[in-house]
Amino acid sequence: FFDQKLGRYVLYTRSSILATTPDKRSANRMMARVESDDVVHWRNEQTVLDTDDRDAVAAGTVNDAKTPQGEEYPRGRDGQFYGMIVRPYQNLYLGFAQYYDVVPGRMWCELVYSYDGIDWKREPKREPFIALGDKGAWDSGMVMWIPKGCPFPVGDDWYFYYSGSNFNHHAKAVAMAEKGQILALGIVRLKRGRLVGYTAGKKPGYLLTKPFVVNGSIIAVNANAKSGKLLVEVCDHLGRGLNELGLAEAVPIREDGLRLAVRFKGAGSLEKCRGQTIRLRMQLSNASVYGLAFG
């Protein structure tokens, strides 16, 4: 894609800079990044995303029809990144990475993100963004590429297209074998802005934002509190609640919406904080919060 920040094209591909063992036999699949001014000459290749010991130990084994039992798998670690589609989004980059679980031959999509396109972060739980289909489903073998341009906005939702199959990477059918190899397109739907969120259960949870300069008089939250409640208070840069804008004055939010207004009892208003550095503290109970907006 053409990176507006850099003024040149960027490509994410399988790395030719391989992390090999001393005997040059083993190497992980990993993701690299290259740049170009003309889409012909590419430069500055560097590896930017790889798995680690939390994913799988190195030098694993594969037990299938094509590989003798117990033979060392010649690609190194048994958890690998097979490919990645990247798109700029607001002030960062979203990566839809294909995670390959080597031994069973499964593949699914994991969401990663970066602020510079080079240093990529994974969510702590490392859960699939688009998981394999249920047992017996057409996409229970592999879930693969999300096309460039996703998500596509439709009303209050985001649509993500993806490809899936009923067979694994070892070409073995795991579902609907009587229909042969199925490779088809699927779609998943997500509420806008809800890629990542913070959730609290029955026990209240607290979230304190970074300091920022407020430039509006209205706060709105992207949140789901229909089964619980969400309270928002305005704090100074040190995290101390402000008079008339504290938790005691906050009107509880008990809805599910993309732009739920934050209100305060009495004369409390964000207007008096315009141009100042503030923080927001949220208290959640049986609720989730995904984002903020100001107006």
Chain segment 239-261, per-residue pLDDT in tens = 999 988 999 999 999 999 999 99
Q: Is the pLDDT of residue 60 over 50?
A: no
Residues 64, 170: contact at Cβ < 8 Å? Answer: yes
What is the pLDDT confidence band of residue 57, given thresholds at 50, 70 and 90? Answer: confident
Q: What pLDDT is recorded for position 171?
A: 94
> What is the model's pLDDT at position 6?
94
Q: How many percent of the chain have pLDDT more than 70?
A: 90
| Model pLDDT, residue 71 | 52
Q: Whose CA is closest to 129, among 153, 107, 101?
A: 107
Confidence of residue 78 (pLDDT cuts 50, 70, 90): confident
Is the confidence at residue 72, as pLDDT, over 60? no
The tokens for 267 are 């004369």
pLDDT higher than 50, residue 120: yes
Residue 64 has pLDDT above 50, yes or no: no
* Residue 58, pLDDT score: 66
**Strand, coil or helix: what is 6?**
coil
For the segment 255-271, the average pLDDT, to the nearest whole number, is: 89
Q: Which pLDDT score, from 0 to 100, does residue 65 have? A: 45
Say which residue, 108 or 21, is predicted with more confidence. 108
Check residue 62 and give its pLDDT.
47
The predicted model gives 135-157 an average pLDDT of 94
pLDDT at 28 over 80: no
19-28: long-range contacts, CB 8 A cutoff, minimum separation 24 = 19/47, 19/50, 19/76, 21/59, 21/76, 25/72, 25/74, 26/58, 26/59, 26/72, 26/74, 26/75, 26/76, 27/75, 27/76, 28/75, 28/76, 28/77, 28/80
What rounded mean pLDDT belongs to the chain?
A: 89
Confidence of residue 273 (pLDDT cuts 50, 70, 90): confident
Q: How many CB atoms lie within 10 A of CB 36?
A: 15
The whole-number average pLDDT for the span 118-122 is 96
